[in-house]
Structure 1
Amino acid sequence: MTVRDRTKLDAESIVDFIADIFDRRGADSYLGEAVTMSEHMLQSAYLAEQVGADDSLVAAALLHDIGHYTSEFPPDAQDQGIDNRHDVAGAAVLAPYFPKRVTDCVRYHVPAKRYLCATDPGYFARLSEASVLTLKLQGGPMSPSEIEDFHKLANLDDILRVRIWDDAAKVAGRATPSFAHYAPLLQRMVDSHRTG
């Protein structure tokens, strides 16, 4: 199954679809970082797992950047000064299959960076060079009114946790489990969402 086949997705095939993305595209460069896309997403999930996060947060950490593969924007969109809105694209493709807690963390992980830049004086200094570049494309630090609106999100604490793991998941050579380790967890989430 390819990304273009997503109209054929269902609860039985979504995890295989995601596995296929990791297999085919996981070695893609991660926006100038020292890790590949799959290394980054697997590191995020591993960091969540290491602190005892529940299945929803591990899934959200693993899938937070899946929108880089579902968006219709070209791969060099950032070079053209275009924000590919991978957060919104990723949440949209996952929404039929995963709980809102997961998709909220995916949908709002970019605004979470903007929020933390506006509210935590030391946060910006911890961003990688590539993340500073994307921050500019994504609108920069939030305004006071945006912060006020962001505070109203039901899953705010979880969204911020996923953002922190996202920022820390850029270490070259860090050993992590493979996607296959997380596939059963993802299927449990999908099955629970389907019957819930």
Structure 2
Amino acid sequence: MLSRDELVDLFEGLAGLPYGGEVVDQRTHALQTAAQAVAAGADDEIVLAAAFHDVGRARPVAERHRGMPHELAGAAYARDHLTARSAWAIEQHVAAKRYLVAVDPAYHDTLSPVSVRSLRVQGGPMSREEVATFESHPWSGDAISLRRWDDLAKDPQGPVLPMDDLIAAYERVMR
């Protein structure tokens, strides 16, 4: 289990870290995504997945998992420090974007320009077979929700989850 100081240090390490051309940094994005999850009534496991979904970009995580896409590095980190469900949602948040583009034609128009560019690198819309496989997983709804909150968490004036609330959620899940 991570200590309070380790959690704070991890998220403070995201402060100022660019978020691929978006107008918020990685820390703001992470805590806004978690705030979106709380506002939607998500349980603590998914609030943690929302907060940690891009942790694969954090310097210590990226260095430990060199060459891995951020969602896989983040999921590897989450498997060590969160629950299996949280780790799966983190691992699948990029796939969920590909899924949503495949099944909801209007979804593509909601993506930021940065997200549209990354979609091409990530493989574009899922195939029918990929959609069926993704939908068959019992936690696919968690990854879809996380993706939608991720898309909304790019507002420099948007609400962020206070660190004390994130720490409390972590302690409730991991005790």
| TM-score, normalised by the number of residues in structure 2 | 0.90
In the TM superposition, what is the alpha-carbon distance from 1:31 to its structure 2 partner?
0.7
Contact in 1 for aligned 2:35/2:159 (Cα 8 Å): no
**1:34 to 1:73, Cα distance in 2 relative to 1, 3 A:** farther
Contact 1:68/1:84, CA 8 A, preserved across alignment: no
Q: 1:41 aligns with which of 5, 21, 30?
A: 30
1:169 Cα offset (Å): 0.6
Equivalence for 2:10: 21
Q: Whole-Å Cα distance in 1 between the matches of residues 172 and 16 of structure 2?
A: 26
Q: Secondary structure at the residue paired with 1:53?
A: coil
Note the alpha carbon deviations across 1:29-86, whole angstroms, 9 max, x for none: 11101111111111111111112211111111111111112124999xxxxxxx8511
Deviation at 1:175, TM superposition (A): 3.2
Q: Does 1:183 align with 2:172?
A: no
- The equivalences for 1:60-71 within 5 A come to 60-69=49-58, 70-71=61-62
Q: Deviations over 1:112-149 (max 9, x none)?
A: 00111111010101000110111111111111121121
Determine the structure 2 residue equivalent to 1:88.
72
- Where structure 2 has 5 or more consecutive residues not aligned to the other structure, the ranges are none
User: Over residues 83-108 of structure 1, what are the superposed CA-to-partner deviations in whole Å (9 max), with x where a residue is unaligned?
Assistant: 85111111111113322211111010
Matched, 1:131 2:115: yes
Secondary structure of 1:95's counterpart equals helix
Describe how 1:139-150 pairs up with structure 2 within 5 A.
139-150=123-134
Moved more, 96-105 or 122-131: 96-105
For the 8 Å contact 2:62–2:73, the answer to whether it is kept is yes
Rg (Cα) greater in structure: 1
> Aligned pair 1:118/2:102, yes or no?
yes
Question: What per-residue deviation string (whole Å, max 9, x for no partner) do you get for residues 142-186 of structure 1?
Answer: 111211211121201111111100001111212323323311211
Distance 1:56 1:73 in 2: 24
Aligned length in residues = 173
Q: Do 2:56 and 2:74's aligned partners in 1 also have CA atoms closer than 8 Å?
A: yes
Q: Quickly say closer, same or farther: Cα 1:111–1:190, change in 2 above 3 A.
A: same
